[in-house]
Structure 1
Amino acid sequence: MSIRWPRVLTPTHLAQIIRAQKNPLTALQVFNQAQQKYPNYRHNGPVYATMIDILGNSGRLSEMRQVIDQMKEDCCECKDSTFAGVIRTFASAGMVNEAVDLFNGIPQFNCVNFTQSFNTLLGIMVKESDFKAAYQLFLENSCRLEVKSRVKSLNLLMEGLCQFKKSDLALNVFQEMDFQGCYPDRESYRILMKGLCDDGRLNEATHLLYSMFWRISQKGSGEDIVIYRILLYSLCDNGKVEEALELLGKILRKGLKAPKSRRHRIDLSKCGNGDDSEATKRLINEALIRGGVPSMGSYCAMAIDLYNEVRVDEAKTVLDEMRKKGFWPSLLMYEAKAEALSKKGRVSEAVKVIEEDIKEGTCVPSVRLYNIVLKCLCDAGDSELAVGYLKKMAKQVGCSADKQTYSILVDGLCKDGKFVEASRVLEEMVIKLHWPGAETYNALVRGLCSVGRQYEAVMWLEEMVSQGMVPDFSLWNLLVASVCCKRSDTDACFEGILTQ
């Protein structure tokens, strides 16, 4: 290991040095040597966070624990986000008990706020359907000074209960908010409204809507549209069209505060007797958009909600309407649109979002938008076309390809049998200091062997080992077979080995 140490070492400089190391164990060695070489140097919170993140991402959990213990002994100031990241790492590895132990030990560190860690662990418990443990965690920690907000944690509990068809319990949690000294927000109403409607509890959902009118809809916020839609759609699906239309009128008056002149322009006679619920829903969407006071918030909320439901054509109507009113779609709307088109398999239209649609306004594509489109192309077998967007991303200011970008491309190229091209992309990925997972290396090495590129396969095996990863045992068999077998018999050899 050859490190060019500076005359004076700062934590920022050390963080840069350890990020530049390809092997996480080498990075840890450099991290530990720093205090030996510079007696007056002391690690700070950001350096510890960098080292912990590197070890966690590479699966070195034992070494990560040692660094966490060292951080506790140093008593340096720690950020809540560091612990939240470690909790997610433990949970991903199936070590929820270790995540709980870490959270319980946070008061022993120099961390004055652990709201994010609390909500992260609570969300994991809810996802694991461990409601008893989640409730116990909430009781023990929600009133602590280090936990700044209880609304989000209560929302997490309600969402978990609703996902498992326990909206009656979620309603109890909602009603207890006042006693907890906090007030439901828009997200609280959205979660509970969806849960009640999914469980067919429409009377309670309607009462919830009325309470919403005087609690959070007093100013007529357009963003509340997504909550109104949930109930109106559910009423239509259950054959209660007349009730839905009656409620729609109240929503326009009390919820959206629509002026009379706008309400009178809306013709709901086309809804007929409600035999066609989808047609009725489209008319309800139109009424909600055209009946309220036009705002960026209402258009954005409605469009993103429709795209999330993959109702692409109805969302397009919202975008057309907002353009007429002088509003331009936001980046979030373009991302939601690309994702919806991707789910529908409309690849050319998803590409058009980056190539044409987004250029009409003031937005520029984000890394997330590119990743959505690249994934769409790769899933459709157009991985070579997807690779071409790397150059476009490089030319765009503030839009550098991230680890997910490269992983999507490498996996897509391997799936299409383009292993040489995948090798080139992986090389660029490593140069940019994005570390692939073992699965990516394994897939590429297998592919290179299958096309007779044993030299490159060996190079990537060496790279894999240098990063402290252990290749699959079958990979060595495959490599030996590809070298020993005659080129003409290679495919037959592979088939024999892979069926063993």
Structure 2
Amino acid sequence: MVRNPLSDSSNKYLRKFRKWPHSPYKTFWHHNFGQHQAMQILVQAATATSPLPSSNDNLNMPSLLSTLIHSFKTYNCDPTPNAYYFLIKTLSRTSRLHEIPLVLDQLERVEKFETPEFMFGYLIRDYGRAGKFQEAIDLFYRIPKFRCVPTICSLNLLLSVLCRNRECLKLVPLILLKSRGMNIRIEESTFGVLIKGLCRYNRVGYAIEMLYCMIEDGYHLDDKICSLIVSSFCDQNDLTFKEALGVWGDMKKFGFCPRMMDYSNLIRFLGKKEKGRDAMGILNQMKEDGIKPDIVCYTMVLSAVVAEGNYVKAHELFDELLVLGLVPDIYTYNVYINCLCKEDNVEEALKMVSSMEDLGCNSNVVTYNTLLASLCEAGELSRARGLLKEMKMKRIELNLHTYRIMLDGLVCKAEITEACSLLDEMLEKCLYPRSSTIYNIIYEMCQKGLVTEALELMEKFSAKSFPPGARAWEALLLNSGAKLSYSEAILADLVKAN
């Protein structure tokens, strides 16, 4: 016999042993379903308002916070952290940061769940992007009120935001002090954030002090941070070469393992200071650490050694890089040719030009300028003219430095006619000589009785809106005698006055 499931005995049995199923509205499944449906309503409301973030109609629409509260209340469930996170992201993305304080008040005073820290990190970053630095600081201090324990992650994010603004750097020390009261202990990552911010705004000295504080606190040196400091003080030239080498040595002593780029930066820094011997020392350290220097490193060291005047060591370096199998480029050849010219060994320099071109490395304007300067200084104008013709045959464009070298050489030998011809060529290219060169040319022209030609030359400069300088007019007036007409003298006085 089949028992009626709705009989009195069965009902008594179920009531007695509490086997009657719970209401479906109290199940875990339905709770999740309700939250999901409420979330869908919120997403639809956000989608409807997000396309018009700058429209005036958007201000009249119902607040998304009201939509969140109503939707979850409709399905008899509590709002979730993800719902608030979605709301904050939507308001931030649609440039409605003015509505976020209401959301935070609701989150602090009404909700009971533990708010995830990543929500505040997202908002701090967006406040920073919008330039609302004080709001970001206030939110950081307010994190414990949201039933959330702030960690180093929030602190680092806030410091990173502040360090991107020069004016906010002065607020960092106070925040670090207050973070101690929030039981946040500064870690290695925090030092990294601070050092990056200081280097960004050329505060390399403070960054180095921060590095030493990091060492004193027993933290391990991060190679990226050390590389950043090396790159910063090499680019900004705030340190002397002794201070730079001292910092470099301390970092290596405490575990810094430099890479090729770090060595290159330091060698470039020493090259700017013309400290060839110290650059050689860094090059040797590089080889001792098992890093093979490339041709760029050798070229920079070679340039520093030449600038220091140690030509014997320069020859040794050039031979060494060839033995190591490195292929010199045009920059290496130009440095070595400059070394030969400084030794007054122009013949060897010319042979080097021929050899490099045979090896497929074509000379450039820097190569010829170096040779021209050496020949003009030695008074060998005929050979300099030959090099100038060679440049034009090779279609190497003459630059301002080329013309100035040749002009000074011609004026030194009183070759005024040729100098004026070269000067006309310069003016056609809108290239202008030094004022001292113009003065010398005008003076020599007046000494040779070429006053009218000198005045014509001055008029050419005036036509090009290039002021030849007061000394040139003075030379023209003082050396012309009575050959200037009254009107020309008046013109000269006016130009000199201007």
Rg bigger for which structure?
2
- Bigger relative contact order, structure 1 or 2, given CA contacts below 8 A and separation 6+? 1
- The bucket for the TM-score relative to the shorter chain is 0.3 to 0.5
After TM superposition, the score normalised by the length of structure 2 is: 0.45
After TM superposition, the score normalised by the length of structure 1 is: 0.44
